[in-house]
Amino acid sequence: MAKNLRQDTDIEDLNIWPAFTDLMSNAFMILLLLLLIALTKYTISNSANTGTPPILLIPDENYRFDPGSAVVPRAMLDYIKTKLVPNIKKTTKDYNINTVEIIGHTDEQPIGTSTSNLDNYLERAANLKGSMSNLKAGSNADLGLMRSLAVVQELLRIQRKDKSMAGIKFRAYSAAQLILPNGDFAPIPQQQRQSEAKRRRIEIRFTRLGEVKEVR
């Protein structure tokens, strides 16, 4: 009787090993699956180009605003829809971009003596609640901002209508007449301020904005 009991126990011990082996095999497969998922996420997150994204331009020579105006002309609007938006989509995807900066540049010629009303109406225009034609520039700084904002308005309309460029934020800035096309600061005019088409342009820059931290 004792001999039979010992044999039964030995058989039960042997039967445990296949179950244990199956358990270890399943655990190993789960670990491999988790590792594969982690590697896939890492590859996707690091697949974007980490180099320097290009700077896009809307040159004034080809797509000109009316003097002193920030209303987007038809030719420029067509360019934004057919050329600029596809480039923005590609660049933001290739470089993992979340913010597009639109910078308005003017020439050094004074725009006149009109009084600016941007302090009163700029926010409405930025939120698509007001027309750019209602804004009046009192300086080239005003005019550069108005023109960059006009382009931002069109990009926002396309973003909302077509549900494209999801998650991308657009920001409008003005450089006025301060920055030359080569990136240098403009020199002090020696004579009368001139009208220069090459200095008038809309510049599109791409950036990845992170969390804002206060420097202490």
Q: What tens digit of pLDDT does each residue of 112-158 get?
A: 777 999 999 999 988 888 788 889 999 999 999 999 999 999 999 99
Asked whether residue 214 is assigned to any structural domain, the reply reads no
73: domain CATH number is: 3.30.1330.60
Query: Could you say which of 47, 65, 81 is where a domain stops?
Result: 47
pLDDT digits (tens, 9 = 90+) for 31-83: 777 777 766 554 444 555 678 899 999 988 888 898 888 999 999 999 999 99
Same domain (yes/no): 9, 100: no
Same domain (yes/no): 30, 115: no
Same domain (yes/no): 178, 147: yes
Asked whether residue 184 is assigned to any structural domain, the reply reads yes
Asked whether residue 118 is assigned to any structural domain, the reply reads yes
Prediction pTM value: 0.74
Asked whether residue 120 is assigned to any structural domain, the reply reads yes
Query: Could you say which of 9, 30, 47 is where a domain stops?
Result: 47
**Structural domain count, the chain:** 2
Same domain (yes/no): 15, 87: no
The C-alpha R_g of the chain, in whole angstroms, comes to 31
Tally Cβ neighbours within 10 Å of residue 106.
27
Distance CA 181, CA 44 (A): 36
Question: Backbone phi, then psi, for 176, in 5-degree steps?
Answer: 50, -135
**Residue 194 lies in domain:** 56-207
Same domain (yes/no): 26, 73: no
Distance CA 72, CA 147 (A): 8
Report the length, in residues, of the chain.
216
Same domain (yes/no): 81, 150: yes
Question: Cα–chain-centroid distance for residue 143?
Answer: 23
Asked whether residue 32 is assigned to any structural domain, the reply reads yes
